[in-house]
Amino acid sequence: MSSLRSRIGWRRGELTLAAKVLLLQLAVIAFLLIAVGVLSIRQSNADFADDQGAQMRSVAEYVATLPGVRGQLQSVADGEAPASTNPQLLAPYVEQGVSLSSATDVMVVSLDGVVLAATDPSRVGDQADLGDSDGLEGRGWTGDVEPDGERAVAHHAPILSEVDGSLLGIVAAEQTYPSVADQVATAAPDLALFLGLGALLGLAGTWVVSRMVRRSTRGLGTTELANLADHREALLHAIREGVVGVGTDGRVTVMNDAARATLGLEHDPDPVGRPVADLGLDPHVVALLTGQGDDIHDALALVGTRAVVFNRGSASTGGRGIGTVTTLRDRTELVSLQNQLSSNLSITDTLRAQTHEFDNRLHTISGLVQLEEYDEVAALVGTLTRHRADVSERVSKRLLDPAVAALVIAKDAVADERGVTLELDPGSRLPALPPDEVADLTTVLGNLVDNAVDAAAGSEDPLVELWILADGDTVHVRVRDNGPGVPEDLRDAIFVRGFSTKPEVLGGRGIGLPLVRLICAQRGGSVTVDAADTGGAEFLVTMPINRQDGEP
């Protein structure tokens, strides 16, 4: 029983879509067959009217020109015979007309429309049913009449006097239309053949279509398909992560609410069906959503002021690619936590470097004391004191914000430990800043200086140059090194994905440069990278600020 239900398309108490398509097609075929039958009968009646109408005209005109008929009606017109002439006198002529054709009835009608003679004697003396005929006006007429409720094709021919050509009466020849049953019986063999062939072809085509539909819909019923679509829609909009589907033509096929919010398209009336390139997104975001080739995993990009992780996979059906599906995760809050952790790690590295440097100096002093080289100890301590004092003075004189100055001094110690010279440009100037802006600026400086030190560490005479200048309400930062530099084709990519070689933090990829761009974007500024005169990379940052009250 289950296999039978499966074959006819029965599934879980309802017909499948394939079965419903099959029934609909059968209904259409039945309707077409009935329509063809009706049209065939109408055409048969039209052909009957043409053929029999011509024959009825011949019969009526023949009887109307018989001398006996004219003579009898001429006698009536001359008053030599009563108006209701003896039907027996005209009967032979009427029968003669019937015998020469397939006419159902032939009648002789007087000028006042009374039947004088007819094949059917019961109609004699009755008023003739002339329909729309104008035969009593002396003109021939062919058309349909309905004597006794039966439809018939008729012709009315005038009977003209041989004396003066006046109208004496008319002859009406009628042939009743065959019934529908008779027409079907007559045309049954041919009609059955053609209708049968049409039905077989229609059934075969319907079966093929139903099989294709069944394969495409996995045998699901219409209710199941509707529920599946509703659940899919609810699932997409309930997911907190963004989901974007893009077809092979680059048009959006699906986008849930979270994706629209993440991409800043909340006010877009309907992005579905439009090319991704027309949604006003940044080129690198468009590339991540529409890019062909390998799938991408955990690619970090900036969308406006958001840090978003992209994961893109290819979608296919039946081995044929139909596009891509990309999930979006807003990691802005996580990046903020990473920013704080990065600052803590930077402080830890600075303290570690200073501790390491302090230990080395202590070991040297301890050795000199043990050797009783007290003059050398005094000279070494003086040199160290002067170096630290010189660095602190040079930095503090140009950078009035204590937090930024402390960061630069600490980074100088870290760079010195790695054998890299960190130089603060003499033209640097920075006033004191509000705490929130100091936090962002120290994060930007810390990441850029760390990257520059890493890049320059393997070079000959490694050097990192730092320039900071507050110009009006904007802080300008330039960090350049003499390392290998950044290839031109990667100058945009380094801000999209974490290219850092540092150990991963919180399970994510290097976040330094994307974090710098995120902070600059949130502040309404920018960060760019170019080739430096020193041969390495040069990063330029502009960041709008608000000076503290009373600052110049």
* CB burial of residue 170 (10 Å; 0-12, 13-18, 19+): buried
Mean pLDDT value of segment 518-539: 86
- Quickly tell me which residue has 């986008």 as its tokens: 255
The alpha carbon of 430 is separated from its chain's Cα centroid by a whole number of angstroms, namely: 54
Q: Provide the percentage of residues in the chain whose pLDDT is more than 90.
A: 7
Q: For 40-49, 101-110, 234-243, 533-542, which range has the lowest pLDDT when averaged over its residues?
A: 234-243
Most confident of 58-72, 93-107, 530-544: 530-544
For residue 544, which amino acid is it? P
Sign of the four-CA dihedral 260, 263, 268, 272? negative
Domain 239-330 class in CATH: alpha beta
Note the pLDDT of residue 480: 93
Note the pLDDT of residue 9: 47
Q: Which H or E run includes 299? A: strand 296-303
Question: Is the fold of 39-181 the same as that of 239-330?
Answer: yes
The alpha carbon of 150 is separated from its chain's Cα centroid by a whole number of angstroms, namely: 61
Note the pLDDT of residue 538: 93
Mean pLDDT value of segment 454-483: 90
- pLDDT higher for 275 or 198? 275
Q: How confident is the model at residue 66 (pLDDT cuts 50, 70, 90)?
A: confident
Indicate the Cα dihedral angle 332, 338, 342, 343, nearest 10°: 70
For residues 135 and 141, the answer to whether their CB atoms sit within 8 Å is: yes
Separation between Cα atoms, residue 296 and residue 315, nearest integer Å? 13
**In sequence order, what are the residues at sequence separation of 6 or more whose Cβ sits closer than 8 angstroms to the Cβ of residue 313?**
295, 324, 325, 326
CA within 13 Å, CB half, 376: 11
Q: For 290-294, 328-332, 362-366, which range has the lowest pLDDT when averaged over its residues?
A: 362-366
Q: How confident is the model at residue 460 (pLDDT cuts 50, 70, 90)?
A: confident
Note the pLDDT of residue 464: 92
- pLDDT higher for 415 or 33? 415
**In sequence order, what are the residues at sequence separation of 6 or more whose Cβ sits closer than 8 angstroms to the Cβ of residue 226?**
none
Note the pLDDT of residue 506: 34
Separation between Cα atoms, residue 287 and residue 290, nearest integer Å? 5
Q: CA of 351: how far to CAs of 122, 402, 407, 435, in Å?
A: 133, 17, 11, 22
Strands 14-15 and 10-11: antiparallel
Q: CA of 224: how far to CAs of 8, 14, 221, 237, in Å?
A: 17, 10, 5, 20
pLDDT digits 0-9 by tens, 401-451: 888 888 888 888 788 878 898 899 999 999 988 887 888 888 889 889 988
pLDDT digits 0-9 by tens, 298-310: 777 777 767 788 8
**In sequence order, what are the residues at sequence separation of 6 or more whose Cβ sits closer than 8 angstroms to the Cβ of residue 288?**
296, 299, 301, 310, 312, 326, 496
Note the pLDDT of residue 503: 41
Note the pLDDT of residue 18: 59
Mean pLDDT value of segment 65-91: 74
- Quickly tell me which residue has 């099959």 as its tokens: 22
The alpha carbon of 195 is separated from its chain's Cα centroid by a whole number of angstroms, namely: 42
CA within 13 Å, CB half, 466: 30
Note the pLDDT of residue 46: 81
Note the pLDDT of residue 19: 65
Q: CA of 528: how far to CAs of 348, 515, 539, in Å?
A: 28, 13, 6
Note the pLDDT of residue 468: 93
Note the pLDDT of residue 365: 63
Structure letter (DSSP) for residue 16: B
Note the pLDDT of residue 40: 76
- pLDDT higher for 439 or 10? 439
Q: What are the DSSP E strand ranges found in 428-485?
A: 463-471, 474-481
For residues 4 and 200, the answer to whether their CB atoms sit within 8 Å is: no
Domain 334-544 has CATH 3.30.565.10: yes
Note the pLDDT of residue 4: 37
Separation between Cα atoms, residue 31 and residue 264, nearest integer Å? 54
- Quickly tell me which residue has 């503090």 as its tokens: 396
Separation between Cα atoms, residue 107 and residue 69, nearest integer Å? 11
Whether the predicted pLDDT of 389 surpasses 70: no
- pLDDT higher for 498 or 91? 91
Domain boundaries, the chain: 39-181, 239-330, 334-544
Note the pLDDT of residue 86: 64
Tokens of 428: 């640097």
Mean pLDDT value of segment 288-296: 79
39-181, what's its fold?
Answer: Beta-Lactamase (3.30.450)
Mean pLDDT value of segment 282-309: 79
